[in-house]
Amino acid sequence: MSENPLAPPRLRSPADASALSARIWPASATRTDDGSLVVGGITAHDLVEQFGTPLYVVDEHDVQSRAVRVRDAFAEAFGRIGTHAHVYYAAKAFLTTQVAAWMAEADLRVDVCTGGELAVALAGGVDPGRLGFHGNDKSDAEIARAVQVGVGTIVLDSHEEVQRVADAAADAGVVQRVRIRINSGVHASTHEYLATAREDQKFGIPLSEAVQAAEAIRARPSLAFVGLHSHIGSQIFDESGFREAARRLMDVHATLVRSGPVPELNLGGGWGIDYTEADSAFAPEDIADALATIVAEACAERDIPVPEIAVEPGRYIVGPAGVTLYRVGTIKPVQLETDDGGSATRTYVSVDGGMSDNARPALYGADYTARLARTSDASPVLTRVVGKHCESGDIVVHDEYLPGDVRRGDLLAVAATGAYCWSLASNYNHVGRPPVVAVADGRARILVRGESVDDLLARDTGVSPAAAPGAVR
């Protein structure tokens, strides 16, 4: 099959536009003998018949097994160098009470960054002592609540938070464990909006001010200094950034050890996952081994004890386990001029969702993989999957080869949507957010119900929902 000149270099015309790559799709994703897409033992058609579209689908066993695999990989790697590793699930990726419970069952800790995430984690049964609370602008109420419920560690993001958390802890009559989030200055190889350790951005305390911040913490009797925290960004495939951040943190860690205990070092998360065939994700064992080697060598060079280590994966655990199902609507072939003066066709495939259920392509130019929920022998055509919203940037999948017989009414599945899709969902154009269902062993259950028109009107004080006319999604 010849390549469409409008396709990006990373995308090749596939031999089989219905194939499901195990690197990208949930562990349980397969096809029946008649070609129907199956996730968690249930066909996409059966799921849609019961719950409608758009629909977030989460492979429950895949989430749980990925959590356990990461936990075990870090336990083994850091056990070899004589210390412990604590895995925190980064709840911002995707959090419901059931997801929180899954993480607790897998013996993971949970990292939250708002009062809302804290409330959901607690409602999901997570021991507050196994929670970390970070964020660049925590309110006084959020800090007080975190202290009162016994959150295990609060991550301080600025100098002013030292006194604010100290006051809250003193008022509650407790000693609060805290970390300092350090802006290491490492420029991670990712989208600008996903890089969180560059100098000119909102997160963290500069590396050069870390000792000053630690001394301020140690001077307050209501605070206990636990250690440093680093997060250089998200969706990163190059391990050099993690190596350099760890090295810089270990330099400061060694300085602080000389003046008092520094029991832990938090190396953050941000490991990339495979959204397309062009991506190349780390195996958890590989990143665990690499970080353990870095820490062991750094401690030996500085003649200091090996600290306990914490890491904070989120996307890595839930991202590949998620699929979003849509109903195909308008099909629109568009003839475009190519750079060589010729022409080529890009087929726009509209679906009944869009940027309200997946904002990542609009925010970051994120790429995804899509497949029809049926198989087809038709030759692949270059498509752009777009949503129903009134924005030209409302793109779900920028570039994908789909079977040329894609038609109105087809079900379309987009892979690796378990992270940051539901979390970033909105009601743009007054579209209700879709339901989230967990699938396992041929059964489906709702984790979060979808929103109806009545839900959208319920908070509008200008009209009585009972008197409002019905609407169709």
| Active-site annotation, residues | 390
Q: Which runs of consecutive H residues, i.e. helices, occur in 124-204?
A: 140-149, 159-172
Query: How far, in Å, CA of 71 to CA of 57, rounded?
Result: 24
Task: Give the count of beta carbons closer than 10 Å to the beta carbon of residue 131.
Answer: 25
Q: Which amino acid is at 218?
A: R
Structure tokens at 427: 């009601």
User: What three-state secondary structure class fits 447?
Assistant: strand
Helix or strand holding residue 296 (H, E):
helix 284-302
Say which residues have a Cβ less than 8 Å from residue 412's Cβ, sequence separation at least 6.
Answer: 325, 326, 327, 328, 349, 351, 370, 371, 372, 373, 385, 402, 406
Q: 54 preceded by cis ω (within 30°)?
A: yes
Amino acid at the residue 261? P
- The shares of helix, strand and coil residues in the chain, as percent rounded to the nearest 5, are 30, 25, 45
d(CA 177, CA 222): 9
Bridge-based pairing of strands 343-351 and 380-386 is parallel
The answer to whether 58 touches 447, Cβ cutoff 8 Å, is: yes
